[in-house]
Amino acid sequence: MNNRLSYGVLINGAGGKMGQTLIRLIHQQPQLGLQVAATRNAAEQVTADFDIIIDFSTPQGAQEAFSLAQSHQKPFLTGTTNLPEAFLQQMQHETKIPVFFAPNVSLSVYFFTQLAQEAARMYRGYGIHLHEIHHIHKKDAPSGTAKKLAEAVCLPASEVTYERMGETVGTHSLRFTSPLDEISLTHKALNRDLFAQSALEIAQWLVTCPAGFYTMSDYAKFKLKEVHS
């Protein structure tokens, strides 16, 4: 994909569930090195040079890490959900670095959202139901992924139903119903590695991109081009 042999990563939110999963996977990949594992106040914890910041923390943590990325002129990838609208606008319009944001960084979930959109077009006139299940520690509800899926099938976010159950990584189920039949589409994340591995792959692509704001749709285009070339 590019000529660099290895990239130094700063993980923001390093003590969290995603942070810990990312760190474990980075240690398994020779082309990546963990340069900084920041818990709070990332700016004060920078002890080594790095090539990219990957943030899975909190809205506050994401904003602090974005400022740090800008001051170091390094690419910034965040998967933190429930980000304030003003911050999303700032990342989209005022960035001088490559910035990537997705409420779900899994390419598989991106394709699932495309499938859902296509299904909603085909089953026009059917009732649509979207239900999501996550672990009991999740702070936002409905999930960022559920909001994206709802948007894709033109369902108001207020109609999404949700459950918080045990350690469930993330399940999103869509049902299209008519008086005569019912169609179900479900995506079930079995393991947090699904998101962490995808984030690391996106990071290695992002470091090659010019300044700008990128989403899953940009990354999916790149991946599909790679597959077909």
Ligand X SMILES: NC(=O)c1ccc[n+]([C@@H]2O[C@H](COP(=O)([O-])OP(=O)(O)OC[C@H]3O[C@@H](n4cnc5c(N)ncnc54)[C@H](OP(=O)(O)O)[C@@H]3O)[C@@H](O)[C@H]2O)c1
CA angle (202 as vertex; 49, 22 as ends), nearest 5: 65
H/E stretch holding 131 reads strand 127-134
Q: Both tokens of residue 127?
A: 């009732």
Q: Report the residue number, 53 or 126, with the smaller CB distance to ligand X.
A: 53
Whole-angstrom distance, CA of residue 59 vs CA of residue 56: 9
Q: Both tokens of residue 44?
A: 């004060």
Catalytic residue among 72, 131, 135, 138: 138
- 138 in catalytic set: yes
- 134 in catalytic set: yes
State the minimum distance, in angstroms, from the CB of residue 126 to ligand X.
Answer: 28
Residues forming beta bridges with residue 164, ordered by sequence position: 134
Interface contacts to ligand X, rule CB under 6 A: 12-13, 15-19, 39-40, 56-58, 60-61, 64, 79-81, 102-106, 195
Distances (CA, A) of 202 to 1, 142, 196, 229: 11, 25, 10, 19
Q: Report the residue number, 12 or 70, with the smaller CB distance to ligand X.
A: 12
Catalytic residue among 134, 147, 148, 187: 134
Q: Which residue is nearest to ligand X (CB)?
A: 16
State the minimum distance, in angstroms, from the CB of residue 136 to ligand X.
Answer: 12
Q: Report the residue number, 126 or 216, with the smaller CB distance to ligand X.
A: 216
What residues are labeled active site? 134, 138
